[in-house]
Amino acid sequence: MRLLEFQGKRLLSMNGIVVPASTLRIAPEDLEELQYPVVLKAQVPFGGRGKAGMIRHASSPEQAIAAVSELKGLDIEGYHAFPILVESKVSFTRELYLAALIDKATNLPMVMAGAVGGIDIESISKKEPGTIIRVHVDPCIGLAGYSVRKLARRLSMEERSDEIRNVVERMLELFESCNASLVEINPLAVTDDALVALDAKIVLDDRAANSHPELFNRAEKEQEECGVLPSTGRKKLARQTGLVYVDLGGDIAMISDGAGTGLLTLDLIRDAGGQPACFCELGAKADSQGIQHALDIVLSDPPPRALVISLIGGLTRMDELADGIAASLTSRESSTPIAVRMCGTREEEGRAILRRVGIETHEDLETVVRVAVEGAEGIDGDSRR
- Domain-embedded: residue 16: no
pLDDT exceeds 50 at position 142: yes
Which of 67, 88, 109 is where one domain is finished? 88
Give the model's confidence band at 125: pLDDT under 50 very low, under 70 low, under 90 confident, else very high: low
Clarify whether residues 255 and 343 are in a common domain.
Answer: yes
pLDDT exceeds 60 at position 383: no
Q: Which residue has the higher pLDDT, 171 or 376?
A: 171
Clarify whether residues 252 and 313 are in a common domain.
Answer: yes
> How much is the pLDDT for 323?
96
Nearest of 111, 103, 303 to residue 188 by alpha carbon: 111
Q: What angle do CA 43, 46, 47 make, to 5 degrees?
A: 100
Clarify whether residues 266 and 315 are in a common domain.
Answer: yes
pLDDT exceeds 80 at position 231: no
pTM: 0.71
Q: How many domains does the chain have?
A: 3
Contact by Cβ (8 Å): 288, 249: no
Per-residue model confidence as pLDDT tens digits over 70-93 = 888 787 777 777 788 999 999 999
> How much is the pLDDT for 26?
66
Clarify whether residues 34 and 98 are in a common domain.
Answer: no
Rounded alpha-carbon distances, angstroms, from residue 158 to 149, 150, 322: 7, 9, 63
Clarify whether residues 136 and 48 are in a common domain.
Answer: no
> How much is the pLDDT for 234?
84
Clarify whether residues 244 and 365 are in a common domain.
Answer: yes
Query: Residue 2 has what DSSP assignment?
Result: B
Give the model's confidence band at 379: pLDDT under 50 very low, under 70 low, under 90 confident, else very high: low
Which of 43, 61, 88 is where one domain is finished? 88
Give the model's confidence band at 380: pLDDT under 50 very low, under 70 low, under 90 confident, else very high: low
- Domain-embedded: residue 52: yes
> Residue 56 belongs to a domain with what CATH number?
3.30.1490.20
Clarify whether residues 323 and 189 are in a common domain.
Answer: no
When mean pLDDT is compared across 40-49, 196-205, 323-332, the lowest value belongs to 40-49
Segment 138-155 mean pLDDT: 89
The CA distance from 227 to 239, in Å, is 15
Clarify whether residues 241 and 353 are in a common domain.
Answer: yes
- Domain-embedded: residue 227: no
> How much is the pLDDT for 19?
97
Per-residue model confidence as pLDDT tens digits over 159-194 = 999 999 999 999 999 999 999 999 999 999 999 999
Clarify whether residues 192 and 280 are in a common domain.
Answer: no
Which of 70, 88, 106 is where one domain is finished? 88
Clarify whether residues 314 and 331 are in a common domain.
Answer: yes
Clarify whether residues 136 and 272 are in a common domain.
Answer: no
State the CB neighbour count (10 A cutoff) for residue 188.
29
Q: Give 138: exposed, middle or buried? Use CB within 10 Å, 0-12, 13-18, 19+.
A: exposed
- Domain-embedded: residue 215: no
Cβ neighbours of residue 100 closer than 8 Å, sequence gap 6 or more: 109, 110, 111, 112, 168, 171, 172, 174, 175, 180, 182, 183, 184
Rounded alpha-carbon distances, angstroms, from residue 124 to 97, 114, 116, 136, 147: 11, 10, 9, 20, 22
Per-residue model confidence as pLDDT tens digits over 11-46 = 999 999 999 999 986 677 778 888 899 999 999 888
> Residue 106 belongs to a domain with what CATH number?
3.30.470.20
- Domain-embedded: residue 169: yes
> Residue 349 belongs to a domain with what CATH number?
3.40.50.261
Please report the sign of the dihedral spanned by the C-alpha atoms of residue 2, residue 5, residue 6, residue 12.
positive
- Domain-embedded: residue 11: no
- Domain-embedded: residue 12: no
Give the model's confidence band at 122: pLDDT under 50 very low, under 70 low, under 90 confident, else very high: low
Clarify whether residues 167 and 109 are in a common domain.
Answer: yes
> How much is the pLDDT for 111?
95
Q: What angle do CA 171, 172, 177 make, to 5 degrees?
A: 100
- Structural domain boundaries, residue 82: 21-88
- Domain-embedded: residue 9: no
pLDDT exceeds 70 at position 299: yes
